[in-house]
Amino acid sequence: MILTVTLNTALDITYRVRSLRPHASHRVSEVVERPGGKGVNVARVLAALGQEVTVTGFAGGATGRAVRDGLAGTPGLTDALVPVAGATRRTIAVVDERSGDTTQLNEPGPQIEPAEWGAFLDRYEELLGGASAVALCGSLPPGVPVGAYANLVRPARAQGVPVLLDTSGEPLRRGVAARPDIIKPNADELAELTGSHDPLRATQDARRRGAHAVVASLGTDGLLAVTPEGRWRATPPARIPGNPTGAGDSAVAGLLSGLVEHLSWPDRLTRAVALSTATVRSPVAGEFDRAAYEELRGQVTVTGVVSAA
């Protein structure tokens, strides 16, 4: 079982409009609601790939019920979310049909009380016993300690469970120091962590700070991986128009599934880039265009890269 942790779950709401213009009224052509938050998106992609996955984190209020209802009945997915008094946040994605661009609005999330955080830690420890890998994903809701991810990496490592960390800012900086097996920042998050805007130098610096392997998401330029086994660049065949929301989460699902299946790093990266690109073809996060995924798997280019001086 793969365990995904989403401390700041969300109800993802996607609006489609003909053309998004500031200071104007818009007629929405379609509204889609889905369970969201980075780890939830990862879990749904993993389940679609045939993996057994358990989702934990927090859920509360009417939006929390909607998230849990949306997860119910998903083959291969188990809901282990911890109830809280506050309401789960909403995220709003507005898709401009003319340009294909997406505008994202993210609420902060509910206030997590100390007793609720303690209840989650107990649940997490229980779930680790049956996990083959763990993904720690996304932002922290108010009330959760900024060093939360570091505190979740350590018990997983103590039990020999591989950990992938996908967050940003101070939670990422502290989490890296706990020595996760993989981190997956985007280019901006990596630059903020290391102070370097050169992706290769930055990924190597992130490894020196504690991460066993670093896989940097470079948007339409694919992934850059620096690992103990080697350094690779994986790129999609071309820029794909569509909604990029959740593309990074699909890449995490590809990396995690490849890890538990003991694939080589080039094969993991091929799967991650194909899934990420196929997600852009899908109208909502947490889903991917399966036909595009199968096609793209044979078109991803993986090449070795030379170390920075």
**Positions marked catalytic:** 249
Q: How far apart are CA 292 and CA 26, in angstroms?
A: 31
Looking at the DSSP bridge assignments, the partners of residue 79 are 55
Rounded to the nearest 10°, the torsion over CA 74, 40, 134, 214 is 130
| Strand extents, DSSP E, the chain | 2-6, 10-17, 28-36, 53-59, 77-79, 82-83, 89-96, 102-106, 133-137, 163-166, 182-183, 213-217, 223-227, 230-235, 301-304
Q: Is 76 left (phi over 0), alpha (psi -120 to 50) or beta?
A: left
Which amino acid, one-letter code, is at 59? A
Q: What are phi and psi of 16, to 5 degrees?
A: -115, 130
User: Can you tell me which residue has the tokens 């073809």?
Assistant: 281
